[in-house]
Structure 1
Amino acid sequence: MNITEVRITLRDEEKLKAFASMTFDDCFVVRGLKVINGSQGYFVSMPSRKRKDGSYQDIAHPINNEMRKEIEDKVLDAFEQELNQAGGGEPVRRAEADEDTGAAPPRDADMEGAGPADGE
């Protein structure tokens, strides 16, 4: 499966910096991804919904680290390009994945105030 398009909608909130949508193989779109400025740098949050207990659950997400990295790289590259076009072009410091597992860093605290996947 190939990512064939990424669209970015900039936001200027404390943590939420953009919404993104991705098209796969020119035939399937996923909306509601978020670019978050977290404590360890920028990262991509998958589309989610708020549960009754107040926590968030991903609606769609990659099931392996390779695809997660590809999604994060493509979205953050598109985000950086959109920032440059808007005149706010500073380098995007990306959150680092765990060196041993490749897993994304814990992000629950970074998601406070970022809200569910809406606004697109």
Structure 2
Amino acid sequence: MEITEVRVKLMENSEDRLRAFCSITFDSCFVIRDLKIIDGMNGPFVAMPSRKLTGHCNRCGHKNYLRAPYCNQCGTKQRSGGENDGPQKLYADVAHPINSECREQIQRHVIEEFELELQRAQQPGYRSRYDDDFDSDNVDVAAYAEPQAKNLPEKLPPPAPHFHQRPDGQTSSQRGGGGNDDSFGAGVF
């Protein structure tokens, strides 16, 4: 497995220890988003994407976040974990490495890219690539950004209509716009 790309979105005005979000691409074909770069005691570290855990209301069965004081559906006071239960896990990782070698590889690549992104942010005209489309094999992003610089038209032509085969063997456009198609949903697209 090879880390082929890391994209970083700096959090400049964050009041807590969160320094940035990042995404990481493996083998140019698999992306994991929303890793966090957090200031730790020994410098920045990478936290894996996670989600808040939920529990069900005893009265109505509605899902609520753990430790929510009241049900979001019916307003019933929620029971929190008992005192003897120990600390309650509030978050679960969505994706994470399963061995220390992989964790260290991810940590090293992400922190290196984070430091480079901090340097790029000092340059005039800086723009984060974090939100750019990851499907760059099909789109020349630079061509859309500055059409005059490449002698391209101001507006791109509309996409060609897509056709599909109907059960009666005829071809019809999914764009709609007339036609004699009486079938359910005809002309919706």
Normalising by the residue count of structure 1, what TM-score does the alignment of the two structures yield?
0.69
Comparing 44-53 with 71-80, greater Cα deviation is found at: 44-53
**CA distance, structure 1, for counterparts of residue 96 and residue 35 of structure 2:** 10
Q: Secondary structure at the match of 2:103?
A: helix
**CA distance, structure 2, for counterparts of residue 47 and residue 22 of structure 1:** 11
Q: Which residue of 2 aligns with 1:101?
A: none
Letter in 1 for 2:21: F
Of residues 86, 105, 110, the one that matches 2:121 is 86
- Output the aligned Cα RMSD: 1.6
**CA distance, structure 1, for counterparts of residue 6 and residue 121 of structure 2:** 17
Q: Which residue of 2 aligns with 1:4?
A: 4
Greater relative contact order structure (CA < 8 Å, 6+ sep): 1
**Is there any run of 5+ residues in structure 2 with no aligned partner, and where?**
55-65, 68-89, 124-130, 132-189
Between Structure 1 and Structure 2, which shows a larger proportion of helix residues? Answer: 1
- Give the drift of 1:24: 0.4
**CA distance, structure 2, for counterparts of residue 58 and residue 25 of structure 1:** 22
Comparing 10-19 with 59-68, greater Cα deviation is found at: 10-19
Q: Secondary structure at the match of 1:81?
A: helix
- 2:112 maps to 1:77: yes
Structure having the higher Rg: 2
- How many residues matched? 89
- 2:61 maps to 1:26: no
Q: Secondary structure at the match of 1:61?
A: coil
- Give the drift of 1:66: 0.4
Between Structure 1 and Structure 2, which shows a larger proportion of strand residues? Answer: 1
**CA distance, structure 2, for counterparts of residue 56 and residue 87 of structure 1:** 35
Letter in 2 for 1:6: V
Q: Which residue of 1 aligns with 2:158?
A: none
Q: Secondary structure at the match of 2:95?
A: coil
**CA distance, structure 2, for counterparts of residue 58 and residue 21 of structure 1:** 15
**CA distance, structure 1, for counterparts of residue 2 and residue 42 of structure 2:** 28
Aligned pairs for 1:1-120 (under 5 A) are 1-12=1-12, 13=14, 14-52=16-54, 53=66, 55-87=90-122
Q: Secondary structure at the match of 2:37?
A: strand
**CA distance, structure 1, for counterparts of residue 109 and residue 93 of structure 2:** 19
Normalising by the residue count of structure 2, what TM-score does the alignment of the two structures yield?
0.45
**CA distance, structure 1, for counterparts of residue 121 and residue 34 of structure 2:** 21
